[in-house]
Structure 1
C-alpha cells in the first residue's frame, strides 16, 4: 500500500474503506467550490457513494492501473490525488487532484503533485506524466506551471460540465525534463 511522507505535517496514503466517512465529509463540506470543475460531486450523496468510489480505486490498484491517495495534513484528510490510469505500453499516465476548501493555499497540492510525478517517473519508470485542466481553472493550472510542465496545447470542448463544454489545457512532463527541472 502506498504511503509517502511529504513533511512532518503532510503525507500521502492510498485510500481505503476506513477513510470513507472523512472523505465524504470533506467532499460535501467543499461541494459548492468543487462542483464548478468536478462533476462527480453531484453523484456523491451518501457515504455509500464514497465507499463505492474507494472500492473502485482499490480495484484500480489491484489491476496495476494506478491508485488514488488521500492527502493528509496534520492528521486530517485534506484532498485526493491519483493516477487516472497507467498506459504501460507507452510508459505514461495522467494525474487528477482536488483539495477541500480549508486546505487551499497551503502548498499541499504542489508538494503532492511533485511526489506523484517523482513516483511515476522514478519508481514506476514511466516516461511521461500529463495533467489537464479547464482553461478557466487557474488554481489547477498553476500546479503544473509551477512544477515546470510544458503547456502542450488546448483540447477544445474536452469536457461537458452540467450545461456547457469546457476546453482543457494539456500539460506534460517527460522523465528527462523532470530530472533537469528538479536538479536546478
Structure 2
C-alpha cells in the first residue's frame, strides 16, 4: 500500500461550527493573538509554559508564521478560533503530536480570559474532534492536562472523552509542582456512540 507523505495530504484549512470560524494560522494574526495573550496571562500562566512572560508583538507574529509553516508541512495543525459574528479572536486549539501512521492526534486548547464561560472552547474542541475523525480518519484522539486543571478536564468530559488513566508524578509543571497528568482519549467507536447519542437527544 502506498503511503501518502504527510505534506501531500489534502484537507480543508478551515471550517465552521454554530458560532465559530476555525481556521489555520495566517501571517498577520499575531496582533490578535498578542492582545489575547496579554489579556489572559494571569489565567494562562499556571498551565502554559509559554505564558511565563509577556511576549512582544514581533515574537507572537513569528510564532504564528512558524505555526503556519508547520500546518502546511502537516507536522502540527494549529487552528485559530474566531467568533463568526464579531470576527473576534477567541482562542487557539489544534491537533498536535501527530502520528500519521495511525493516525492519532492530541488536542490542545486555550481561551482568552474575556471569552471564558461561554462554551466556545467546548464548541471548538467538538468541531476539531469531528474534523479529526470524519476528515482526517483518526483512530485515536487524546486530550492531556494537569490533574489540577479542572476547566480543561471538564471540556474533555463534556465531550465524552474517556479518562484512560492518570500518570502520577509524570512531569514538572509550570509552577515547579510535580504534575499528575490526566490522559483522556476517544476512538472511532466512542465517536460514533457520542454522535448517535447527540442525534437521539436532538430528535427528542
**TM-score, scaled to structure 1:** 0.94
- The equivalent position to 1:40 in structure 2, one of 50, 74, 83, is 50
C-alpha root-mean-square deviation of aligned residues, in Å?
Answer: 1.4
Question: 1:60 aligned to 2:67?
Answer: no
The reply to whether residue 113 of structure 1 matches residue 125 of structure 2 is yes
Distance 1:4 1:62 in 2: 16
Corresponding position of 1:5: 16
Partners of 2:70 and 2:76 within 8 A in 1: yes
In structure 1, the residue matched to 2:194 is: 181
Report if the CA contact (8 A) 1:133-1:168 is conserved. yes
Deviation at 1:77, TM superposition (A): 0.3
1:174 and 1:180 map into 2 onto residues whose CA distance is: 10
Select 2:179's aligned residue among 146, 166, 175.
166
What corresponds to 2:4 in structure 1?
Answer: none
1:92 and 2:108 correspond: no
Which is strand-richer, 1 or 2?
1
Structure 1 distance, partners of 2:53, 2:40, is 14
Looking at structure 2, the residues matched to 56 and 155 of structure 1 have their Cα atoms a distance apart, in angstroms, of 31
Indicate the larger mover: 97-106 or 34-43.
34-43
Residues 27-63 of structure 1: CA distance to partner in whole angstroms, max 9, x if unpaired? 0110011101111012552012111211221222122
In the alignment, is the contact (CA less than 8 A) between 1:39 and 1:162 conserved in 2?
no
Equivalence map 1:131-170=2 (5 Å): 131-160=143-172, 161-170=174-183
Q: Which structure 1 segments of 5+ residues have no match?
A: none
Count residues with an aligned counterpart: 183
In the TM superposition, residue 14 of structure 1 has moved relative to its aligned partner by 1.2
Q: Which has the larger radius of gyration?
A: 2
Runs ≥4 residues deviating over 4 A: none
Instruction: Using structure 2 for the length normalisation, give the TM-score.
Output: 0.85
